[in-house]
């Protein structure tokens, strides 16, 4: 019995020696994303003078210090039919208006041509008020858009880094104009995108003001100063709210595609154009 007790004491001492602080191994790091929770709406306001704008007062090609072009006719992920060019026949300014025209003509290997103007590298913004006055094209198969994409895709390729559609329209649904956001959790590829629409019976005949107010709390969409859409930051991370990085603006008229061509394309309606009177960006006043 005594020998057994002594053995146990010696064994315990050995274990204590082997478990000294100098031999302790740190716990593996906790890589779980820390979620702070939803932000507070601070009621942010916006400056009254634009921080970036184009009034399209100079005739000719769009201002190269403000606009670049996305080029090509690969379908753009939506099976679109147009080839985007930098030709003046597809994008030009006259009488104070930018006109983006989709045409039925051979362009590259495509049967239609059009233009997609972008401010990437020339106008990149984190939060703000984005206001565009535009008149839309009519006709089955047209798919004009005024929208925003992330400049750096910090969270990964679409839809992980987000998309904000300030105005989107498809010609076969003539009176509904849409404002939408896409994220990893909520996007058009899986039918979970978040958006709303307003009936605009003269969208083809008159200019209307399409606007998004983007703050850390929400993306809010307006048509003619009437709020029709709100998407609130739930504080759960980038899968639902990737809108904490810089975005840039895009203006384009697509032809056909998964949504725009869902009821076919009436080739007899072309050429068709979106006219833009101005683009104005107002800086958010931080609090």
* DSSP string over 213-281: EE-SSEEEEEETTEEEEEEE--SS-TTT---SS-EEEEEEEEEBSTTTTTT---GGG-SEEEEEEEEEE
Mean pLDDT, range 277-286, rounded to an integer: 98
- Other CB atoms within 10 Å distance of the CB of residue 71: 12
Q: Identify the structural domains of the chain with CATH numbers, from first to last.
A: 49-285 (2.60.120.200)
Give the residue numbers marked as catalytic: 163, 168
- Mind listing the pLDDT tens digit for each residue in 18-61? 334 344 455 555 544 555 678 999 999 999 999 999 999 999 99
- Mind listing the pLDDT tens digit for each residue in 222-256? 999 999 999 999 999 999 999 999 999 999 999 99
Residue 16 in this model has a pLDDT that exceeds 80? no
SS3 198: strand
- Mind listing the pLDDT tens digit for each residue in 114-159? 999 999 999 999 999 999 999 999 999 999 999 999 999 999 999 9
Q: pLDDT at position 38, please?
A: 86
CA distance 125 to 151: 9
CA distance 12 to 265: 84
Contact yes or no for 276/132 (Cβ under 8 A): yes
């Amino acid at each position: 019995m005594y020998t057994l007790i002594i053995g146990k004491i010696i064994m315990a001492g050995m274990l204590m020696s082997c478990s000294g602080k100098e031999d302790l191994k740190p716990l593996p790091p906790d890589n779980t994303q820390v979620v702070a929770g939803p932000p507070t709406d601070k009621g942010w306001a916006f400056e009254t003078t634009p921080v970036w704008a184009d009034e399209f007062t100079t005739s000719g090609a769009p201002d190269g210090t403000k606009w670049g072009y996305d080029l090509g006719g690969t379908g753009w992920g939506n099976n679109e039919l147009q080839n985007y060019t930098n030709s003046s026949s597809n994008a030009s300014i006259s009488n104070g208006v930018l006109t983006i025209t989709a045409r039925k003509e051979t362009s590259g290997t495509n049967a239609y041509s059009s233009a997609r103007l972008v401010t990437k590298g020339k106008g990149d913004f984190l939060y703000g008020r984005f206001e565009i006055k535009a008149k839309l094209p009519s006709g089955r198969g047209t798919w004009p858009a005024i929208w925003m994409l992330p400049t750096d895709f910090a969270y990964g390729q679409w839809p992980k880094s987000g998309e904000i559609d300030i105005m989107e329209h498809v010609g076969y649904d003539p009176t509904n104009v849409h404002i939408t956001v896409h994220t990893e959790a909520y996007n058009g590829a899986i039918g979970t995108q978040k958006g709303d629409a307003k009936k605009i019976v003269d969208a083809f005949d008159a200019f209307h003001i399409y606007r998004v107010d983007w703050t850390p709390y929400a993306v809010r969409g307006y048509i003619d100063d009437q709020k029709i859409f709100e998407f609130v930051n739930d504080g759960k991370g980038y899968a639902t709210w990737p809108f904490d990085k810089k975005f840039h603006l895009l203006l384009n008229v697509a032809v056909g595609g998964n949504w725009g061509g869902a009821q076919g394309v009436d080739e007899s309606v072309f050429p068709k154009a979106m006219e833009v009177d101005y683009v104005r960006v107002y800086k958010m006043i931080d609090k």
